Amino acid sequence: MQRTIVREVSVEGIGLHTGHPVRLKFKPLGTGMGVVFQRVDLPGQPMIKAEVSSLLSVKKNPRRTTISFNDVQVQTIEHLMAALYGLGIDNILVEIDNNEVPGLDGSTLGFVEALKKAGIAEQDAQRRIFKVTTAIWVTDEDSSIVILPSSDFRISYTLSYDHPVLGSQYMDIRVDSGSFEKELAPARTFCLQEEVDALVKSGLGKGANYENTLVVSDSGVVKNKLRFRDEFIRHKILDLLGDFYLLGMPIKGHILAVRSGHTLNLRLVQKIKDQMERQLMVAIRSIEGCSKGSDIDATTIMKILPHRYPFLFVDRVISMEEGKRAVGIKNVTINDNFFEGHFPGRPVMPGVLIVEAMAQVGGVLMLSPAENRGKLAFFMAANNVKFRKPVVPGDQLRIEVEVGKLRSKTGQVVTRAFVDGEVVAEAELMFALVER
């Protein structure tokens, strides 16, 4: 399920690059909204969604991840984004009164502590997860990053510097909330001592000091101590997590990175985003084809709807009139997991799940018009619900859905479910249409 915070919480600090004092206020946000920054210091308090389309070039904004909309920017967001990824927070409003996220101690610890203090709550909507199905990679001279299919989320990182202290390091970690907080969150940002002057000349690092940035000389860390023997590589993985959360969803895949930084991370993120959009277009073309007599199978339905086992209750859409009418099928079998408890010795499909199956067919129909493609259809309300006959294992639900009202942000449908030509349920359903 999607997650947000329970209550407001604030964080204050100094921007690592600008040196400006800045105050953040985290606020809860509704389902499907994602991570949204709001510049409360500017007229109109403009908002910027933290997503791939908002990225600015790392070449123009080196050593940090920056998002922008209509010339309004928020920079150095990677540590905060990593904290949100690690804690599994999907929807949150970040009010900020300057153009750079505070550096705090150079790690994500301050953000993690504040967000946990605010409390984290599940929301009534399923999380979207990007499951890697084929290898995707980018390279640049001696740097590379590739993501492979995997049953979980894993990162294997190789750090290689021609430097007596940094040298070569390797770390392999399965990323979950526990490993994130213990192994990654405390790791601080770093730079080489010989880079300091160049950073200052380029107008960067104005808020950096020996406390919030590990400065590495040929003999060791200057005026500080390491939290981990391999703290440098751990922070590289932290940056990678923050960059990848611009996809707006967690990942199931195995990332193998060699000397990768923000530039290469974000190139791969963009490539993944492009693949996701291609998958969506396949789903859209399937919808278009269905109106010409073909149907939509379960695999394609899962590209249109966010539902997954055990909560996907439509096996096929056999007929579609775009923006008007759809017919879907749900095969009811004794293997459906809800029959174990409903009811032992007398299996009956719960009425609420029949309504859910009707709503899912309705969701596919809602997304068929061109203006709604790429959106999500959230089930809002059910009116005039009636159950006419029990549905049992061996039945096939034929679900007919017709559009009543369809607007840019909401839709209403009238739906009936049949078994062997007899009506078993009917309802009027309301949907909210939101951007992915």
Q: What letter would DSSP give residue 372? A: G
Q: CA nearest 378: which of 125, 128, 92?
A: 125
Contact predicate 36/48, CB 8 Å:
yes
Whole-number pLDDT of residue 281: 56
In order of 202, 368, 406, the CA distances from 324 in angstroms are 58, 9, 9
The predicted pLDDT at position 61 comes to 82
DSSP bridge partners of 10: 25
Per-10-residue mean pLDDT for the chain, 436 residues long? 96 95 96 92 93 84 89 95 97 97 97 97 88 92 94 95 92 95 97 85 87 93 95 97 94 95 93 75 56 70 85 90 87 89 91 94 84 78 90 92 80 89 89 80
pLDDT at 289: 58
pLDDT at 143 (0 to 100): 94
Q: Which of 144, 155, 215, 207 is nearest to 180 (CA)?
A: 155
CA atoms of 85 and 175, how far apart (whole Å): 10
Structural domains in the chain? 3-274 (3.30.1700.10), 291-435 (3.10.129.10)
Q: What angle do CA 305, 311, 312 make, to 5 degrees?
A: 45
Phi and psi, residue 379, nearest 5°: -65, 120
Catalytic choice (17, 79, 235, 262): 262
Query: Active site includes 262?
Result: yes
The Cα–Cα gap between 418 and 355 comes to 12
Residue 128 confidence (pLDDT): 85
Catalytic residue flag (residue 17): no
Using DSSP, state whether 242 is helix, strand or coil: helix
Catalytic entry in 20, 163, 307, 342:
342
Neighbours of 265 (CB within 10 A): 25
Listed as own residue / partner, the contacts of 215-219 with beta carbons closer than 8 Å and 24 or more positions apart are 215/190, 215/191, 216/163, 216/165, 216/166, 216/190, 216/191, 216/192, 217/165, 217/193, 218/163, 218/164, 218/165, 218/193, 219/164, 219/165
Q: How many CA atoms lie within 13 A of 123 on its CB side?
A: 23
Q: Which residues pair with 47 in a beta bridge?
A: 38
CB atoms within 10 A of CB 410: 15
Best CA proximity match to 312, nearest among 327, 289, 331? 331
* pLDDT computed for residue 45 by the predictor: 93
Q: Note the pLDDT of residue 404.
A: 81
Which tokens sit at 11? 């964080």
Cα(173)–Cα(333) distance, integer angstroms: 40
pLDDT at 274: 79
**How many whole angstroms separate alpha carbon 89 and alpha carbon 180?**
13
Supply the pLDDT for residue 125: 84
Other beta carbons within 10 Å of 97:
16
What residue type is 93 in one-letter code? L
Tell me which long-range contacts 39-46 makes (C-beta under 8 A, separation of at least 24): 39/72, 39/74, 39/96, 39/97, 39/99, 40/95, 40/96, 40/97, 41/96, 41/97, 41/98, 42/72, 46/70, 46/72
Whether omega for the bond prior to residue 111 falls within 30 degrees of 0, making it cis, is no
CA distance 253 to 146: 10
Tokens of 83: 């904290």
Which amino acid belongs to residue 393?
Answer: P
pLDDT for 283 equals 57
SS3 262: helix
Backbone φ, ψ for residue 117 (5° rounding): -65, -35
Structure confidence at residue 295 (pLDDT): 75
CA separation for the pair 412, 178 (Å, rounded): 42
